Structure 1
Amino acid sequence: MTIKTFSLGGELTINRLGFGAMRLAMGTFAGPARDPETGIAVLRRAVELGVNHIDTAGFYGRDAVWANELIRTALTPYRDDLVIATKVGPLPGPNGVPSGQATADQLRGLVEADLRCLGLNRLDLVYLRVGGMTGPGGESIAERFAVLAELRSEGLIKHLGVSNVDGAQLAEARAIAPVAAVQNRHTGDMGLLAESEEAGIAYVPYFPLGGGVGSGPLDAERLGKVAARLGATTAQVAIASLLATSPTVLAIPGTGSLEHLEENLAANDLSLSDEDLSDLRG
């Protein structure tokens, strides 16, 4: 991979291999909460290893442990080149699992809460996350995205993104304000990925170790074959294959473990040949 960085919104240069903060506070939304001191150590080590793009959300947390508070504790004062992306939209239910969806009237409060928890005056990137755990599509996002566009015009947000969207929803958003990033399940919608690449929009698959080349999650047997040939782990090959999909793709593998962090970030130095990519695609 010759391209290691991406210009977010045409002005924020970030490393294409970043860090997802969901697993800092808990392994899953159902819990239990993790040791906050370990999360703080993971964040500090990530930045030491060159991460300058952290993806988080106000609903990433359990009990008294919340990802945004860990980020503020671990990394303030923030480095000038650190880009923090957050998501608004999902609302946690009684069991802590995001099961509701914010209305347009609730979005300002969610953005202001992220600003307070992170200790920031302006958020670098805010995604409107729509829908539940099902696939994208089926609803208009215009009213809600317009609220975020207004917050951007007020200076509370630098760049806007959309998450869990299809082509029609992305078009709705782009008709209202510039979209800097799309965060979807994986790279399965190659048409949306191609549109993002042409427009200079970052494409950021969530759950990146569950997806990669082609229409969905990578085959474990093919991953193992390439990993053995390269002397790498399957996780490293999965991340490298994701980055090889397109120069607009960013990877945000998350972990609550220092060991797994080091393993994941080592994928930045892994080069996949045409033979490797062919084997992965099958």
Structure 2
Amino acid sequence: MIELFALALIRAQVAAAAAVLLVVILRPSARRLFGPRRAYGLWAVVPAAAAAAFLPSLAETMDIGSPARPLGAWAPKLILLWLAGCAIATTILVLREHLFRRRVEQGLAGPAVMGALWPRIVLPADFAERFDAREREMIQLHERTHINRGDPIANLVIAGAGVLGWCNPMIALAARLVRIDQELACDATVVALRGGIRADYAKALMKAQMSVSTSPLACGWATHPLILRVSLLNRREPSLTRDVAGFLTMTFLAIAAMVLVWTIAPRGPDAGDLHAGFTAQMDDNGAIVWVRGR
């Protein structure tokens, strides 16, 4: 079982890296054709590809191709190394969140949405002094839209993926880019809901650009590229036809990624190879167990 899990883990990391590369290539075109909201949904390709790596591949199902060589003694060592890295990554994540919450208590963080399961809007102590009434309305509307869209939960999933893929540089790149696309999608949702606010919205963005959120779980107001966000505010919303086409395209790409990984994933080692060096014995309950021979 450890051997199979180690092989699936390697497959998942490779599949996720390839999927991230595909998304990086397609996201500008997806944003131009279908708008930022559908382009953000393109990131579903990555978890879909990684999940397919844990399924029995087509070669294994059809019993075709040459079996892979077992990892042998390297399998448990690989799993232990991966688990140790996950523990360290989780510790860093918790510490960063703790430091952010301390800044919130001191009135030095925000505007942002904090908390995944019970999200709330946090504002800096000088919020009323720094922004006028119209700008404060824009900022709070943006943060409420994050909550309504479920972005805090998405950030928790993104952070979890970063922990599981701590050894994969493409996952680290994806964690950065997906947060940018999340902000662009939220901006597009806000201006679609409220007409005639683009100028005030852009003004509030520029004024708050130096307010940086350091939490990997929070949805910050102005923590991402300003020029790109302001430039996209001037684009027209995609038509209903293009929006539906975008949804169908992103869904198709996610399913296609799973099918492709399932199809091209190599065959794993045979059971006989996995049990090489082991002898079958019967335990006290009458079940067969494999014991390494001397």
TM-score by length of 1: 0.28
Which one scores higher on RCO, CA 8 angstroms, separation ≥ 6? 2
Structure ID, larger Rg: 2
- Structure in which a larger fraction of residues adopt helix: 2
